[in-house]
Amino acid sequence: MGVKQFSSWSLFRVLFLWITLFSGWVPTISGADDLVIDYETAERLANLPLTCYNQEFPHKFGITYNGIEELKSPHAVHPIFYGCFDWHSAVHGHWLLAAILNKFPDTDLAQRIITLFDEQFQEDKVAVEMEVFRQEHNKIFERTYGWAWFLKLHDELEQNPQNQERGWSRILQPMADLLVQNYQNFLPSLAYPIRAGEHPNTAFGLIFAYEYAQKHDLEELADLIAFNATGHFQSDVDCPLNWEPSGSDFLSPCLQEAELMGKLSDLDQPDEFNEWFQKFLPNLFDPDFILEPGHVIDRTDGKLVHLDGVNFSRAWNLYSLIKTLPKNDTMNRAKFLSLGDEHIRESMEFVVGSDYAGAHWLASFLFYALQVREHALEDMFTY
């Protein structure tokens, strides 16, 4: 028993996937029913932020107070994003709803989300939300994790056909502009990257921001991100993926960095990135290396349940990296897909109906992983 047999089984799965890819036989892989975002799955996941978006307590504040007069309720300080335990979870809960609205527009669920957005996204509320970010003693508030998720939300709203009439992204635009400026103020001072597996992770904080900058022609922000990423990460080799995860990680420092560098690479000329990638993560290309999913013992512990999140974020990293691999590298493309699927399946049954420690945020992570998987499959089976 042990490593050799498990490794052989893993190799068998990769070979099976490679054969299906090479032969063009798609249905078994791309049609894995448990990993498809159907309406029932979307509705079950949407019910989590729909339940907690206006649940004020329990609440974890992340702000710094300059005096007793600043002590206020979460709703008073964050009139939009006060629910779902903390600011960033409320933000990406709204992103989840926006993504589901875009995928299932003509449904009863869509109408519920539209009604909620009309209630939530109002100019006077946005003005209050921005006050915290303008305070000198709170300039680090939600840097850069929450900033990144807000830009992701803003971009998702812009893609919705209802947006032009209802003005959701226009109403939130001042907040987006403020956070873009915050990035531009902060990044020149970042002398060293933050490689933690939690909120401050530099690579995670730059990925969504870079995508936003690219879509919105924000050259200064895009150039700053590229400059920082190149300066901090270009010379990295042998990332110790075998040291991961730490006990409360919900992000993989190694895989987040690889995804960021992949986003910055020229996909029309992949050789340079792939040379860096294989030097940076040689373990990932070793057929004998086993990347085991994170294991959660106590899902009522707000830190330990992070490992369900690391399974989902690792999955979307791996799916995203499929696009960076050469089209003819069918073996590693299949391997990354299989690894991502294995990680999702480890934790996906513990999102709906779980303790609030995980329920207030994991739905967004699971949905995003499944969404990136869809895009990866489109790339894998497009020739």
Q: What is the DSSP string of 139-186?
A: TTTTTTHHHHHHHHHHHHHHT-TTHHHH-HHHHHHHHHHHHHHHHHHH
Question: What is the structure's pLDDT at 381?
Answer: 84
- Read off the pTM: 0.93
Calculate the alpha carbon distances from 45 to 34, 51, 159, 241, 370 in Å. Answer: 14, 10, 20, 30, 12
Question: What is the structure's pLDDT at 38?
Answer: 98
Query: Whose structure tokens read 């895989």?
Result: 255
How far apart CA 69 and CA 80 sit, in angstroms, is: 21
Cβ neighbours, 10 Å, residue 346: 21
**Alpha-helical runs (H) found in the chain:** 3-23, 27-30, 39-52, 74-77, 87-103, 108-120, 123-134, 145-158, 163-166, 168-186, 202-215, 219-233, 253-264, 271-280, 306-322, 330-347, 356-359, 362-380
**312 close to 366: Cβ distance less than 8 angstroms:** yes
How far apart CA 124 and CA 174 sit, in angstroms, is: 12
The amino acid sitting at 135 is Q
Domain ranges of the chain: 1-31+236-383, 42-193
How far apart CA 54 and CA 84 sit, in angstroms, is: 7
- Terminal alpha carbon distance of the chain: 40
How far apart CA 308 and CA 359 sit, in angstroms, is: 11
Question: What is the structure's pLDDT at 17?
Answer: 55
How far apart CA 202 and CA 220 sit, in angstroms, is: 18
**Alpha-helical runs (H) found in 297-352:** 306-322, 330-347
Q: Which of 149, 201, 139 is nearest to 176 (CA)?
A: 149
**331 close to 18: Cβ distance less than 8 angstroms:** yes
Tens-digit pLDDT string for the chain (383 aa): 333 334 444 554 555 455 545 444 343 454 578 999 999 999 999 999 999 999 999 999 999 999 999 999 999 999 999 999 999 999 999 999 999 999 999 999 999 999 999 999 999 999 999 999 999 999 999 999 999 999 999 999 999 999 999 999 999 999 999 999 999 999 999 999 999 999 999 999 999 999 999 999 999 999 999 999 999 999 999 999 999 999 999 999 999 999 999 999 986 677 899 999 999 999 999 999 999 999 999 999 999 999 999 999 999 999 999 999 998 999 999 999 999 999 999 999 999 999 999 999 999 999 999 999 999 999 998 75
Q: Which of 263-280 are b and which e, b meaning 16 or more Cβ less than 10 Å from the residue's Cβ?
A: bbbeeeebeebbebbeeb
Question: What is the structure's pLDDT at 90?
Answer: 98
Question: What is the structure's pLDDT at 382?
Answer: 75
Cα angle for residues 205, 211, 217 (degrees, 5° grid):
125
Estimate the crossing angle of helix 123-134 against helix 168-186, to 10 degrees. Answer: 10
Q: Six-digit token pair at 232?
A: 């901090």
Give residues with Cβ within 8 angstroms of 189, minimum separation 6.
Answer: none
Q: Which of 8, 13, 84 is nearest to 51 (CA)?
A: 84
**258 close to 321: Cβ distance less than 8 angstroms:** yes
